[in-house]
Chains A and B, each alone.
Chain A
C-alpha cells in the first residue's frame, strides 16, 4: 500500500486561517494605520528617555517657567510647575500603554477561563457562571472602581488588577459562545474518549482554537481600558502624582483651561489617538479573522 495518497480536492482546504487572515489584514489600510499608530506609541514609550528633551517630573525655576505657551523650546508648552508637557505626554504613554496591556491580559485570561468552563461543562456550571457575569455587568463599573480605590490606597498595580478584574465579562460571553460550537467537534470527542479530563481538554483543545476570537476581543478592549484608566486619573483616583499619566494631566489642566489650553488638550489628543489606534487595529483584525470570510 502506498504510504501517501493524493486527495487534491479535499487537501489543505481548511486551516489556512492565519496566513489567509494576515493577507486580508494587510490589505486593510485603516488596520495598518492603527497598527502603525500603536507601533509608534510603543516605540515612544520604550525610548522615552532618549526622546524627551526635559525631565518629566523635576520642577525647575517654577515662577519663570510655569504656563509657557507652545514655543520652540517647549513645543507643547509647560504646566503650572514649569514641567515640559511634551516630555510628560511621552512619559505618560508608558502608564497608559502598560495599564492597557496588563489589565487586558488579566481580563482576557479570566474571561477566557470562565467562558471556556461555562461553555464546556454546561448545565449548572454554565448557569451559575453566566448569572455571575450578568450580575457583574449590571453593576456600574466606575462606582466599583472608585469604591475599591478609595478603600485601598491607589497604586498602579492596584489599578491594573481592578481594571482587569472588572473587564472580563464580555470576553467570557464571547468565548462561551465559541466553545459551545467547538464542544461537539470530533477532536474534542476523541480526546474525551481517550480519557482526557475537562481541564486538559479546555487547555489543549478548546482555548487554542478560540485564539483568534480572543485576540480580536483583547485588542478592542484595550482602548476601553485605557479610557477607563484616564477617567479614574481624571477623577483623581488613578496613578498617584508625580508620575505622569494622561488622564491626570487632563485633570490638572482643567483649572487653567482658558488661559493655558495646551495643558489638557495635548494629553487629551494622545488618549484619543491611542484609543483610535487600538480600535482600528481591532476592527481590522475582526474583519480579517471573521470565520465567514474563509473559503
Chain B
C-alpha cells in the first residue's frame, strides 16, 4: 500500500523580482519529481548538496508549497488542505532535521518541546501529557529526567534523539529524516541509525531517508532514488542499484564511498567537477559536463526517465538508446 504519492513535483524559485522589471533567473530546485512511499518501507534519497533533496522534503511536509504537482497522503489530496484540516493532517507526516543544534528551541525545556505536538493535537491532557513525554523519552533512549532540562545540556546525538521524540509525539505514519546523522560524530551515527530502524519495526513507520552518504543509505533503504539538479536520474531497489548502477552519476557516487580495507577498495572514479549553477544548467543532460561516458546527444537533448526491468528507472542516453 502506498502511503504517500507525489507526482510531478516542481519547485521553482525566482530570485526577488527587481523594481524595474529586470527578468530574474528562475532556480529549478525540484523539477518534475515523482516519488512513492510504500507503507513500512524506507526510501533512500541521495545526491550531492544542492540537488534539491531538502527542498523536495520541505514540499512533501508542506513547509513550502510546490510550484506544480500533486501529493496524496493516505489517499487524500494533501495539497488541497487548508487551515484546521491541514493542521490535523500534519500529524501524519513529520520530519527529523539535519542540524541538532538549530532544530531545538534553546529557550524551551525538552519536556515542552516534545509536548508541543501533543498539545496542538490534543492527544492528552494534564498529567497524561507528562506521562507521554516520559514514554517518548524512554523510547528514544533518554531518561525521563531529561524532560526538565534545556537543549544546551545535551550532546549532538542526544539532541537528535530529542528531535526524533518530538516528531514521534504526534504518532506520525511517515517520517522524513533529512540527513539525520550527517552532523554527528561518526561514532554516534550508528546509534541513531539503529534507533530509527528499531522504531520503524516497532511502530510500522514509513521513512524517507535523505543522505549524501551511500553507505548509510545502502544499510537502511529498500529503494534508492538518486537526484541530480532537481531531477530523478535513477531509481531502483537497493540491492540492484549497488550491484549494478545504471547511471554514470550513481556509479560515481558509489565509487566515492570510502572503503575501510584498502585491499578491497573499489576502483576510484570520483566524479570530477562541481554541481552546475542551478540558474544556468547545461543544455541536454545536466550531468554531461562531468560524465565520463558523455556522448554528442547528451549535450543537445534531455534524456527521459525510462523503465528498465522491475522497479528500475534511469534517465540516461546510454540506456535510452538500447530501450
Contacts and interface: CB of A to CB of B under 8 A. Distances in A.
A7 interface: yes
B103 A5 contact: no
Interface residues of B, number: 51
B97 A190 contact: yes
A16 B151 CA distance: 11
A17 B107 CA distance: 11
B150 to A, nearest CB: 8
A13 B194 CA distance: 26
B151 A15 contact: yes
A1 interface: yes
Contacts of B163: 190
A295 to B, nearest CB: 14
A7 to B, nearest CB: 3
A225 B94 CA distance: 47
Interface stretch (A59-67, A76-84, A193-201): A193-201
A7 B191 CA distance: 13
A230 B126 CA distance: 51
B268 interface: no
Interface in B154-180: 154-158, 163, 166-167, 170
B143 A3 contact: yes
Contacts of A73: none
B185 A10 contact: yes
B185 A204 contact: no
B116 interface: yes
Contacts of B166: 190, 194
B105 A194 contact: no
A194 B156 contact: no
Nearest to B150: A15
Contacts of B103: 185-187, 190
Contacts of B194: 1
Interface string B49-66: 000000000100111000
Q: Which of A3, A193, A200, A211 has the most CB of B within 10 A?
A: A193
A193 B158 contact: no
Given A194-B120, A196-B116, A187 B102 contact: yes
Contacts of B195: 1
Contact of B191 (A5, A187, A190, A193): A5
Interface in B219-261: none
A196 B152 contact: no
Contacts of A5: 155, 157-158, 187-188, 191
Interface string A1-20: 11111111111111111000
A259 interface: no
A26 interface: no
B108 interface: yes
A162 to B, nearest CB: 33
B143 A193 contact: no
Contacts of B62: 193
Nearest to B157: A5
B212 interface: no
A7 B107 contact: no
A155 interface: no
A205 interface: yes
13 contacts: A1-B194, A5-B157, A5-B188, A8-B155, A14-B152, A15-B152, A17-B106, A186-B102, A190-B163, A192-B63, A193-B95, A194-B90, A195-B91
Closest 8 CB pairs of A and B: A7-B155, A186-B103, A195-B87, A15-B152, A186-B97, A11-B155, A195-B90, A10-B156
Interface of A: 1-17, 185-187, 189-197, 200, 204-205, 208-209, 211
